[in-house]
Structure 1
Amino acid sequence: MKLKWLFALMLMVVLIIVLAACSDDEKDSGSNVGKDGEIAGDLEIQYFVGGYGDSWWKEVIADFKKAYPDVNVIEHAGPNINEEMRSRWVSNDPPDVVYIDGAGSSETQMVEDGQLMKLTEWLSGIELEGGDKLQDSFIVKPATYDGEIYSLPLVFDTWGTWYDKALFNEKGYTVPNNFDEFMESMKEIKQGEGIDPFVTSGQHPYYFLRGMLYPAFAAAGGEELLADVITGKEGAWSSEPVLEIMKRVEQMVEEGMFDSGLGALNHTQSQMNFLLHENAFIPVGFWLPNEMKNDIPDGFEFGFIPSPMNAADETYAIVPDLRPLAIAEEAENPDAAKAFVEFVFTREYASSFSEHTGAIMNLNGVDLSQNENVPDYLMEANAMINNPEVVQIYEKPHPMSADLETPVGNALISLMLGNMTAEEFVAEAEKAAADYRAGLE
């Protein structure tokens, strides 16, 4: 009996030691609470590295680690990160924080699939360093889905049309203000330089859709028409204003303004052709100069205008293109995720963002003129965009879902390659919108 009792006692001691060790292991590897009740544990962050580079991210994450020493930040980053992480999202094992940008990502798709955390109530309590509310300090407000917010817009970018100011000044080419002037300018260049004036990425047709067509839709029909085409409202794509704009695209095709090889070009190849003066106009966002900084020829001077697809009696139109931060619905460390997102949104980091990337963070009250490291083209573009006599800003409700953007983009490429008429395009786009609506039912 004594031996049995002794054996039982020893077994209990062993079990207590094992359980204590397991508890310590959990604290070391997965607990979200540190020694003093502070935020701790692993924090996984996914961010796309493209034209903006990653130097700003490295700075912010390093500062966050200093502020939250009990948090172990695990970075998932790179130009192909959206594809590399796809299986994690599909299997409901996502990273905690995601920066939604680049090919293969779609904010709207992620909301529709229930992958993002609802942030509406949490956002209302966040204050900036000056005491003002974050939700009142965005240049452009967050996208909403049935009145709810699932992401916070980090980057204020806008698509526009770029050209070489040095070339245009030297040759006296026209910087266009509307589509009629755009066509005249491209004719001048085609004759004077012997090149196809306009280039875009055929492998990524959303460059033309967002960069050229969105502003045209907004200029012609305001935010209502813009919202209708983005959400696939019945009759929007086959409406008269949209058909008229697509006729302009057809005119560009018929008069040989598109690069004849655009169908095979990815976005960096098209940008390289532009820098080499194989083309004169390209629709891209503010990331262009930074992404191509190692390939800019001597004497090249970036010029930026809102895309001139607007009619002669319409002003320039700008449709902001936001790049948001979001928290996964299935985040394993939501407290650390919220701490990081809140940490990022400061005016100090907004100024730093413009230095690192040549683009603008989506916070108001940031005086870039006092920062000598911000590039001239960004200063000029910022001044133009904020002049209501020159530019009208139109906001979209949210990004277009990939389920609609992909088939519309495929039809758009056919139109730009001359394999489809404007009437055939709007019919295809209308069908794609009907299929998209049916998929939501």
Structure 2
Amino acid sequence: MTHPGEITRRQLLRRIGMTAFVAGPGAGLLSACATAGTGGDPTAAPATSIAASADPKNPFGVDAKKPLEVVIFSGGYGDAYAKDLHEELYKKAFPGVTIKHTATQQIGTQLRPRFIGDDAPDVLNNSGPEAMDLVALAAEGHLADLTPLFDAPSVDEPAKKVRDTVTPAVLDNAKIDGKDLVLNYSVSHRALWYNAKLFESRGWAVPKTWAEFTALGEAAKKDGILLFAYPGQKGPYYQLWNVLYTAAKIGGNQIILDIDNLVDNAWNAEPVKQAVTVWADVQAKYGDKAYFGLDHTQTQIKHLQNELLFYPVGSWIENEMTKDIPLDFQYAIAPIPDVTAADKMPYGAIQVGVGENFVVAAKGKNPQGGLEYLRIMLSKEGARGFTEKTKNLTVVNGAAEGVDLPAGLISAAKAQDAAGENIITDARFEGWYKELFDYGTEQINVVMAGRITPEKFCANMQKKADAIKKDDSVAKQTRSQ
């Protein structure tokens, strides 16, 4: 039985593409920040569309001599997958071509002036704490239409369209104002991550209820170990996600849908207040305010040193910290414990979604090359290589078959199988209403630090959501699932 706003396992399999896997380690699984939606301001600037070519090997009519510029967010996935794999595949397709590669964590700082000056890079991996407002870029006509990409021949099977080689969730999440403008490339699992080897050595069970969770916090405290650590500077949105997914655990996915759809009083819903309250209480009793002064990487190092038990993050964490993982540490995923006896979603529900978005600049110097670059990314060679380099999965069906997956990702696969139809949906307002999301990351800092009450947090977020809803200059998006 499902509740309004929740999806069935069959729907999930269609949307996330899990049917592509065969039996073996991580069986049932395919492959971090989604943007999607329909509706909106009909006066928004039209997306630039590239005319199709008759050549299936060059469907966008790329000028082989034209340089290409690629900007990658160098976060949890790094940038080697682009520099050493995707760009090399592009050069193989167009021998002699020049590619300018830039890796940065300051996407907004570096790229905003360039978009304003119509000097945008051809391909942008728009991710991280400084991710740009894609709805605003779309409204200004800066994003190329990706419909020709999805309708183009697949690199691997020219008789098959690209859209038929990826999980349908890609197409659901591609839209801004009804247009296909964004490619979400990875599949991620966001929950609580812990050291399975530590738990095994201590004889600790992963807590299934909030009472068990806090009891473990008391036991760990005696050994000088934190139950939970706030992700600090650069990572507060991890905790915002954690609170929202806890709210969905309590009240069902309709909580997330209402927030995304700017429904009146969505932020004041009781499950949201409960979620903020329990996490603020955990921080006060079992956390350490010193972590507010650390960046997320420093906190993740402390996690590897067993100074804390649970950390709220996505499945990219294993690759991000791969060089620092000690022999006595093994990443594993833990679902959010039952907060109440009446939670709408049972224990084991986890969040699974597509993310890590890529766009092509409509006003760039080589939009045709940008589309071809994405088409190469969506080839099995491009997708499989990404998984091998990052130990994370992509949206390309079957591309990760036979890849040796790390322990954390296998753990996530098992958790997803155990969750069945109880998948927590992704919150899309992050990409739709960046001002609201950025404000949320500020407010989660304040409430987790104990400077405002959970009720005040909810009231502040609702006030900001109401202001955005009333602002006619902001294109509105809607979702039904």
Instruction: Please report the TM-score for the alignment, with normalisation by the length of structure 1.
Output: 0.83
Is the Cα contact below 8 Å between 1:215 and 1:310 reproduced in 2?
Answer: no
Q: Counterpart in 2 of 1:423?
A: 455
Q: What is the CA distance between 1:270 and its match in structure 2?
A: 1.2
Indicate if the aligned counterparts of 2:196 and 2:332 stay in contact, CA closer than 8 A: yes
Q: Report if aligned partners of 1:223, 1:396 keep a CA contact under 8 Å in 2.
A: no
| Residue 217 to residue 75, structure 1, CA distance change in 2 (3 Å) | same
Aligned to 1:49: 74
The answer to whether the aligner puts 1:199 opposite 2:199 as a matched pair is no
Whether 1:290 and 2:289 are equivalent positions in the alignment is no
Does the CA contact (< 8 Å) of 2:62 and 2:369 recur in 1? no
Deviation at 1:257, TM superposition (A): 2.0
Q: Secondary structure at the match of 2:67?
A: strand
Tell me if structure 2 keeps the 8 A contact 1:243–1:426: yes
Matched, 1:90 2:122: no
- Residue deviations 1:158-183, cap 9 Å, x none? 32211111111111222123444333
Contact 2:86 2:377 in 1 (8 A): yes
110, 119, 124: which one aligns with 2:151 = 124
1:130-145 aligned at under 5 Å gives the runs 130=157, 131-139=159-167, 140-142=169-171, 143=173, 144-145=175-176
Structure 1 vs Structure 2 CA RMSD: 2.6
Determine helix, strand or coil for the equivalent of 1:281.
Answer: strand
List aligned pairs for 1:341-352, cutoff 5 A: 341-352=374-385
Question: 3-state SS of the aligned residue for 1:280?
Answer: strand
**Is the partner of 2:128 in helix, strand or coil?**
coil
Alignment match, 1:216: 246
State how far apart, in whole Å, the 2-side matches of 1:218 and 1:137 are: 31
Alignment-mate amino acid for residue 286 of structure 1: S
Match in the other structure for 1:250? 280
1:259 aligns to 2:285 (yes or no): no
Q: Deviations over 1:353-374 (max 9, x none)?
A: 1211111112222344x223x3
5 Å-filtered alignment, 1:402-417, equals 402-417=434-449
Q: CA deviation at 1:187?
A: 2.6
Q: Name the structure 1 match of 2:129.
A: 103
User: What secondary structure, in the 3-state scheme, does the structure 1 residue paired with 2:302 have?
Assistant: helix
Q: How much has 1:335 moved relative to structure 2? A: 1.3
Cα offset, 1:322, TM superposition = 0.4
- After superposition, give the CA deviation of every residue in 1:226-263 in whole Å (9 maximum; x if it has no partner): 13223543211012221222222233244x12222122
Q: Secondary structure at the match of 1:74?
A: strand
One-letter code of the match for 2:240?
A: L
Instruction: Return the offset for 1:135.
Output: 2.3
Q: Would you say the 8 A contact 2:352–2:425 is kept in 1?
A: yes
Number of paired residues? Answer: 402
Assess, with a 3 A threshold, how the Cα gap between structure 1 residues 176 and 88 changes in structure 2: closer, same or farther.
same
TM-score by length of 2: 0.77
Percentage of pairs with the same residue = 27
**Secondary structure at the residue paired with 2:213?**
helix
Letter in 2 for 1:436: I
Rg comparison, structure with higher value: 1
Q: Give the helix-richer structure, 1 or 2.
A: 1
Preserved CA contact (<8 Å) 2:187 2:352: no
Distance of 1:412 and 1:110 partners within structure 2: 26
1:1-400 superposed matches below 5 A: 38-57=63-82, 58-106=84-132, 107-120=134-147, 122-127=149-154, 129-130=156-157, 131-139=159-167, 140-142=169-171, 143=173, 144-191=175-222, 193-203=223-233, 204-210=235-241, 212-254=242-284, 256-308=285-337, 311-312=340-341, 313=343, 314-315=345-346, 316-368=349-401, 370-372=402-404, 374-389=405-420, 391-397=422-428, 399-400=430-431
Secondary structure at the counterpart of residue 353 of structure 1: helix
Compare relative contact order (CA 8 Å, sep 6+) and give the higher one, 1 or 2.
2
CA change 1:359–1:391 in 2 (3 A) is: farther
SS at match of 1:173: coil
| Counterpart in the other structure of 1:11 | none
2:66 partner amino acid: G
Partner Cα distance (1:220, 1:363) in 2: 32
The amino acid of 2:470's aligned partner reads A
Check conservation: 1:158, 1:320, Cα contact below 8 A: yes
Gapped runs of 5+ residues in structure 2? 1-57, 474-481
Q: In structure 1, what is the equivalent of residue 23 of structure 2?
A: none
- Match of residue 6 from structure 1: none
More off after superposition, 357-366 vs 180-189: 180-189
Contact in 1 for aligned 2:245/2:424 (Cα 8 Å): no
> Any idea what SS the aligned residue of 1:104 has?
coil
> Secondary structure of 2:193's match?
strand
Q: How much does 1:407 deviate?
A: 1.5
Q: Distance in 1 between matches of 2:382 and 2:429?
A: 25
Moved more, 414-423 or 180-189: 180-189
Once the two structures are superposed, residues 34-87 of structure 1 have per-residue CA deviations (whole angstroms, 9 ceiling, x without a partner) of xx9854311111111122122211222112101112532111223335422332
